Amino acid sequence: MSQDEALLDAPDASAEPPVVAFDFDGTLTVRDSFMAFLRWRVNRTRYGLGLLRLAPAMLAFLVHRDRGKVKAAAVREFLKGLPREQLEVQAREFAETQVRRLLRPDAVAAWKRWRTDHVRLVIVTASPEVLVAPFARGLGADALIGTELAFDAQDRVQGGFVTPNCRGPEKVTRLKAAFGADFELKAAYGDTSGDREMLAMAEIRGYRIFKGEP
């Protein structure tokens, strides 16, 4: 074999490593982290009152089936007007105090096994990025893709989102925007129909395979 042929057969050291994507809520965690955070930051009475006020939005969901609208209503009810800095502090405190109650040990073990390979580990979630960010940092994620909260000119929570709800086809759209249209999705893990499209494009597909309890 000539030197030129050997170079052609050699692996491309400059190629980007493949992506391994994990859904967050229900996959890496045992429950929905967004609602858990909302419940954690207020007392029981305030939380119950907030849920009552959300009843119309939940009933409307039965017609429009748009989870993003329900989530936006919850943001308006519980977080509107909160300064970004204060929200980030609360998100860190929530992660620090609740991480052992939320993360599935078998999912974290799988995450750590992938960490030993030459891959990019990514969390892809419908939950607000700002709330999942402390967990992503703790896990050493290479990237976090989630739904982005809208903030007003004073950097306070506005009560909506600046991106579509990161669920279903939007997960694939956001992955391609982050890593390129032709990126390699080595593996993906999820637990709901909102992960279907992401799982479909992965070489290794893990659907509801994590059952561990903290």
Which residue segments constitute the domains of the chain, with CATH numbers given?
Answer: 3-207 (3.40.50.1000)
Q: Amino acid identity of 22?
A: F
The gap from C-alpha 87 to its chain's centroid, in whole angstroms, comes to 17
Instruction: Indicate whether 9 pLDDT > 50.
Output: no
What does the chain come to in residues? 214
The reported pLDDT for the residue numbered 123 is: 98
For residues 154-170, give the mean pLDDT: 95
44 pLDDT band (50/70/90 cuts)? very high
Determine what percent of the chain is predicted with pLDDT higher than 70.
93
CA dihedral of 163, 165, 166, 169, whole degrees rounded to 10: -110
> Is this prediction's pTM over 0.85?
yes
For residues 21-40, give the mean pLDDT: 97
